[in-house]
Copies of this chain bind each other. A is one copy, B any other.
Amino acid sequence: MKVKVSRKEHFNAAHRLFNAAWTDEENERVFGKCSNPNYHGHNYELIVSLTGETDPATGYVYDMKKLSDLIKENILKQFDHKNLNLDTQYFKALNPTAENIAMVIWRILRQRIDEKYELNVRLYETERNFVEYPVH
């Protein structure tokens, strides 16, 4: 039986939901006020979880300080106080929905965390809307 350890971080960003293949009317109809051309923004709360065995010498699954530093270096540095559509490379063609942001964060972190750990991401766009990835 394994233990799941989680670290919560946050970032503040602007974004706009938008599909470039659609007319402005279609974007407005599907995404409503979330498609406001001048952007809006959120305080995103990000929970990153690792599941694995505890190390008998430390009693840790993973050092939470190292996980926090990893998230800060690889995610917050790119996303915090940014415009997700304009200031990052990830959402030029991909719509920055909470679902897509969570999948992008998972892919970035997956390359930097040993495969022996299962990796899960939960992202709160607001207190009332949140997503989890992956789910089996």
Contact = CB atoms under 8 A, between A and B. Distances in A.
A14 B39 contact: yes
Interface in A81-136: 81-83, 86-87, 94-100, 102-103, 126-136
Contact of A134 (B2, B7, B99): B2
Interface residues of A, number: 66
Interface in A1-37: 1-10, 12-15, 17, 19, 21, 30-34, 36
A50 to B, nearest CB: 10
Contact of A43 (B8, B65, B97, B126): B126
B1 A135 contact: yes
Contact of A32 (B31, B65, B102): B65
Contacts of A36: 81-83, 87
A63 B108 CA distance: 26
A72 to B, nearest CB: 12
